[in-house]
Amino acid sequence: MATMLILGAASDIARATALAFANDGWDLILAGRQPEILDKIATDIALRSGRRVKTAHFDALRSEEHAVFWQGAEEEVSALFCAVGLLGDQEKAQADMDQATAILQTNFTGLLPILSLAANTFEKRGRGLIIAISSVAGDRGRASNYFYGSAKAGLTAFLSGLRNRLAKKGVDVITVKPGFVATAMTADMALPIKLTATPKQVATDIVKAARKKHDVIYSRWFWRYIMLIVDHIPEKIFKKLKL
Amino acid sequence: MKLTSWGKYPLIETTLASPANEALALAALEGGGALIGRGLGRSYGDSALNDHLVLSSLRLNFIESFDEESGVLVAGAGVSLAEILDAFVPRGWFLPVTPGTKFVSLGGAVASDVHGKDHHVAATFSRHVEWLDLWTPATGLIRCSDTENSDIFHATAGAHGLTGFILRVALRLQKIPSAFIKQKMVKTGNLDAIMDTFERYAGLPFTVAWIDCLQSGKGLGRSIFMGGSFAEKEELPARYRLRPYQPPSPKALAVPFDFPSFALNSFSVKAFNAFYYGKAPKELKKSIVSYNSFFYPLDSIHNWNRIYGRRGFTQYQFVLPKETSVFGLADILKTIAESGQGSFLAVLKLFGKQPVFDGNISFPMRGYTLALDFPITKKLFPLLDRLDAMVLECGGRHYLTKDARMSGEVLRRGYGPALGDFLAIKKRLDPEGRFVSLQARRLGLV
């Protein structure tokens, strides 16, 4: 069976999605920076799904290591799922460029080498699947999280271009834009219950998108319409809103 | 934050913490202060509520190992029975004991020492627990089982989190020939008939009855009996025989909002009961059904508790010793029917022998147990007080998992000396009384 490489696999959304893909028949390589947690997750998913699950060390911020990392995985991997992300501290980032850089690298620039390596391999092979988690926050910048938002906007645009390039080459590229999700990342935020998804719901949406070869999905689906409205608020009004 | 359990009563202001891993959970436990553990919040009343700190096990949700030979599964206390079924039914394994919902955590199943339709052959959940990892103030993290620290193990099963916090459970699963149940359904006209039916089908591993609590006189105790056993592969309809462990998945429904309080009244309940009773065939009916529809009929309607409206409901469950069951049940059913405070769902079950251990306050005993739902109204609590007295007079007792209003006196008389033994062990493990729920405080256990 085909193997999927999952980057940033220790996040709540990644863990739920990894299990959903394993239940859908994929073998997995879980990659990330925390080997202990990855091992626990790998054991858990292997026991639940009966699929083969391995772990690997991957750090988005060490782009210089990506080529060697990809060489090691390339042969057996037929799909890449990137769930790396960092919400960061907006207020801190406004004054501290290290924080700002960390947000931009983790959500955007740091991911470009590995995404490009996978894209090139899959293009040559004439088949492959790339899925990456962006965010509704990338659709329009807001005062409360525009470092995160602009990084995700960059990722969204990158994925859109990648899809455009690879569409004729048999490679599918899926952009996932989750809205509010109850995870460790948002544990300290008061989220509106009715708009907040569980990681499992997002996972179900992603696996469905992979099966149906969708291009851009919102999760939950209603965020497409919320963002449609948000995108169409005139800037004159938008700039005065507390968002 | 506001927190409530399945009965939506009481609703309290508290702090809920969900440590992401064992180290953080231990740090929270060692931090001091009053607390109570909580899983999926499926107990009905106030046993998993505390106005100081509620410590959730839900992020301790890793399956850690499974032994294909012995069927022993080791998992974090926050793993739900539903997750275990999802993972292991397709490979031919099932829970050794399951309550009427699969949306309970492993930790919660031990804390309530849940029982199921197979109590008469399998006893309670903890009888199938190989060992558990528990944290108590006196011992710290400790592993206990039937043979290792057995006093702590027996005191913890069915103790509703009052001895400490359960972190990890090793559970023995059972092998099944298919994921389908061979079901027998029998309509019985009165109490004698349903009791006879329980005796006649005692050989079946799963038995339960739905009882119409609004009937009085000749029809008092009319019921629909459901018995079952796992179907062998050869007994399945052809379309399932090739994939005996993959039953059709249940269609999920949801109750989208709280029903208005007037939606449930004696007329609507009578109409429901007449419909339900009318639906069942009179004589024996045999069928093959999926395990989900046999064990978890209500799980396919998410948030079914919302039909009781914002005021919530309480479930009332008691057990009577077998010797007093015939007269006791008749009296209690008569009192309920006369009160007109109908129960939407009432479930009758004949428990088998329940092993007795020092310090163990698991609910079941040999005899009949009846579980009823009541919407919360002004008239309700006086009725339940009357029922309490009748239950005690018969030598019976109440299930704490369902309770939100009982008095400490009723608990003490129901559980007798076992409660004193339990409190002695609780004192030893938790000398400062840190593990306390609203229920424990109400009942005077701390």
Over chain A (243 residues), the average pLDDT of each successive run of 10 is 93 96 97 95 97 96 94 96 94 95 96 97 97 95 94 98 97 96 80 87 96 94 90 90 85
How many angstroms separate the CA atoms of B76 and B126, rounded?
A: 16
**N residues, chain A:** 243
Is residue B151 less than 8 Å (CB to CB) from chain A?
no
What's the burial of B12, exposed, middle or buried (CB within 10 Å: 0-12/13-18/19+)? Answer: middle
Is residue B17 less than 8 Å (CB to CB) from chain A?
no
Is residue A183 less than 8 Å (CB to CB) from chain B?
no
Instruction: Give CA torsion, residues A87, A90, A92, A95, to 10 deg.
Output: 130
> Does residue B92 belong to any structural domain of this protein?
no
How many angstroms separate the CA atoms of B108 and B79, rounded?
A: 10
Give, as one character, the DSSP assignment of residue B436.
-
Q: What's the CA angle centered on A164, arms A163 and A167, to 5 degrees?
A: 70
CB-based contacts of B362: which residues, under 8 Å, 6+ apart? Answer: B113, B124, B126, B157, B158, B354
Is residue A165 less than 8 Å (CB to CB) from chain B?
no
Q: Which of A37, A47, A184 minimises the CB distance to B63?
A: A47
Give, as one character, the DSSP assignment of residue A221.
T
How many angstroms separate the CA atoms of A196 and A219, rounded?
A: 10
Verify whether the Cβ–Cβ distance B62 to A43 is below 8 Å: yes
Q: Which of B20, B65, B66 minimises the CB distance to A184?
A: B20
> In chain A, where does DSSP find H-type helix?
12-23, 35-49, 66-73, 90-95, 97-107, 112-125, 146-166, 199-212, 223-232, 235-238
Does a cis peptide bond (omega within 30 degrees of 0) precede residue A142?
no
Residue B228's CB: how many other CB atoms inside 10 A?
Answer: 26
CATH topology of domain A3-238: Rossmann fold (3.40.50)
CA-to-CA separations, B50 to B7, B11, B128, B442, in angstroms, rounded:
16, 11, 29, 11
Largest CA distance in chain B: 61
End-to-end CA distance of chain B: 24
Does a cis peptide bond (omega within 30 degrees of 0) precede residue B10?
yes
- Phi, psi of A100, deg, nearest 5: -60, -45
Rg (CA), chain B: 21
At B268 the pLDDT is: 62
Verify whether the Cβ–Cβ distance B63 to A40 is below 8 Å: no
Q: Residue B211's beta-bridge partner residues?
A: B223
Residue type at B195 in one-letter notation: M
Is residue A184 less than 8 Å (CB to CB) from chain B?
yes
At A188 the pLDDT is: 73
How many angstroms separate the CA atoms of B438 and A172, rounded?
A: 54
Q: Which residues does chain B have within 8 Å of residue A189's beta carbon, measured at their own beta carbons?
A: none
Q: Which residues does chain B have within 8 Å of residue A39's beta carbon, measured at their own beta carbons?
A: none
Q: What's the CA angle centered on B422, arms B138 and B143, to 5 degrees?
A: 45
Distance of CA A73 to the CA centre of its chain: 19
Contact B362, B126 (CB under 8 A): yes
How many angstroms separate the CA atoms of B34 and A91, rounded?
A: 35
How many angstroms separate the CA atoms of B178 and B93, rounded?
A: 9
Contact B349, B123 (CB under 8 A): no
Contact B184, B202 (CB under 8 A): no
Residue B210's CB: how many other CB atoms inside 10 A?
Answer: 19
Which of B395, B414, B390 lies closest to B403, judged by CA? B414
How many angstroms separate the CA atoms of B146 and B136, rounded?
A: 18
At B262 the pLDDT is: 54
Verify whether the Cβ–Cβ distance B64 to A49 is below 8 Å: no
pLDDT tens, N- to C-terminus, chain B (446 residues): 899 998 888 899 999 999 999 999 999 999 989 999 999 999 999 999 999 999 999 999 999 999 999 999 999 999 999 999 999 999 999 999 999 999 999 999 999 999 999 999 999 999 999 999 999 999 999 999 999 999 999 999 999 999 999 999 999 999 999 999 999 999 999 999 999 999 999 999 999 999 988 888 888 888 999 999 999 999 999 989 999 999 887 665 566 666 655 555 555 666 666 656 666 556 678 899 999 999 998 887 777 777 677 777 788 999 999 999 999 999 999 999 888 886 766 899 999 999 999 999 999 999 999 999 888 888 899 999 999 999 999 999 999 999 999 999 999 999 999 999 999 999 999 999 999 999 999 999 98
Q: Which residues does chain A have within 8 Å of residue B63's beta carbon, measured at their own beta carbons?
A: 43-44, 47-48
Verify whether the Cβ–Cβ distance A50 to B91 is below 8 Å: yes
ipTM score: 0.88
How many angstroms separate the CA atoms of B325 and B367, rounded?
A: 7
Q: Which of A37, A47, A187 minimises the CB distance to B87?
A: A47
Interface size, chain A vs chain B, as Cβ–Cβ contacts under 8 Å: 25
Is residue A24 less than 8 Å (CB to CB) from chain B?
no
> Does residue B5 belong to any structural domain of this protein?
no
Residue of A nearest to B67 (CA): A47
Is residue B62 less than 8 Å (CB to CB) from chain A?
yes
How many angstroms separate the CA atoms of B194 and B348, rounded?
A: 9
Structurally, chain B folds into a number of domains equal to 1
Residue of B21, B59, B62, B81 to mutate for A, most A C-beta atoms under 10 A: B62
Scanning A46-85 for CB atoms below 8 A from B yields 47-50
Q: Which residues does chain A have within 8 Å of residue B20's beta carbon, measured at their own beta carbons?
A: 184
At B215 the pLDDT is: 81
Question: Chain B: nearest CA to A177, how far in angstroms?
Answer: 24
The token pair that represents B281 in the structure block: 């065939």
How many angstroms separate the CA atoms of B133 and B269, rounded?
A: 44
Question: Chain B: nearest CA to A223, how far in angstroms?
Answer: 20
At B253 the pLDDT is: 59
Residue of B nearest to A185 (CA): B20
Q: Which residues does chain A have within 8 Å of residue B86's beta carbon, measured at their own beta carbons?
A: 48
Residue of B nearest to A22 (CA): B87
> Does residue B290 belong to any structural domain of this protein?
yes
Residue B316, classed as helix, strand or coil, is strand
Verify whether the Cβ–Cβ distance B86 to A44 is below 8 Å: no
Question: Chain A: nearest CA to B48, how far in angstroms?
Answer: 21
Residue A94, classed as helix, strand or coil, is helix
At B271 the pLDDT is: 62
> Does residue B372 belong to any structural domain of this protein?
yes
Which of B434, B423, B429, B391 lies closest to B410, judged by CA? B391
At A193 the pLDDT is: 81
Is residue A189 less than 8 Å (CB to CB) from chain B?
no
> In B157-250, where does DSSP find H-type helix?
191-200, 238-241
Beta strands in chain A (DSSP E): 3-7, 27-32, 53-57, 77-82, 128-133, 171-178, 216-219
The token pair that represents B31 in the structure block: 């931090």
Contact A230, A140 (CB under 8 A): yes
> Does residue B289 belong to any structural domain of this protein?
yes
Verify whether the Cβ–Cβ distance A41 to B62 is below 8 Å: yes
Is residue B67 less than 8 Å (CB to CB) from chain A?
no
- Phi, psi of B311, deg, nearest 5: -70, -20
How many angstroms separate the CA atoms of B321 and B327, rounded?
A: 11
Instruction: Give CA torsion, residues B204, B205, B211, B216, to 10 deg.
Output: 50
Which CATH number belongs to the domain containing residue B214 in this structure? Answer: 3.30.70.2520
Residue of A nearest to B68 (CA): A47
For B339, the domain range is: 180-410
Q: Which residues does chain A have within 8 Å of residue B256's beta carbon, measured at their own beta carbons?
A: none
Verify whether the Cβ–Cβ distance A48 to B20 is below 8 Å: no
Verify whether the Cβ–Cβ distance B66 to A47 is below 8 Å: yes
Scanning B21-40 for CB atoms below 8 A from A yields 21
Question: Chain B: nearest CA to A46, how far in angstroms?
Answer: 9
Q: Residue B142's beta-bridge partner residues?
A: B134
Question: Chain A: nearest CA to B87, how far in angstroms?
Answer: 5
Verify whether the Cβ–Cβ distance B20 to A47 is below 8 Å: no
At B89 the pLDDT is: 96
Q: Which of B21, B63, B86 minimises the CB distance to A44?
A: B63
Question: Chain A: nearest CA to B234, how far in angstroms?
Answer: 26
Which of B299, B312, B362 lies closest to B40, judged by CA? B299
Residue of B63, B103, B173 to mutate for A, most A C-beta atoms under 10 A: B63
Contact B169, B106 (CB under 8 A): yes
> Does residue B418 belong to any structural domain of this protein?
no
Which of B283, B287, B297 lies closest to B224, judged by CA? B283
CB-based contacts of A236: which residues, under 8 Å, 6+ apart? Answer: none
How many angstroms separate the CA atoms of B294 and B89, rounded?
A: 15
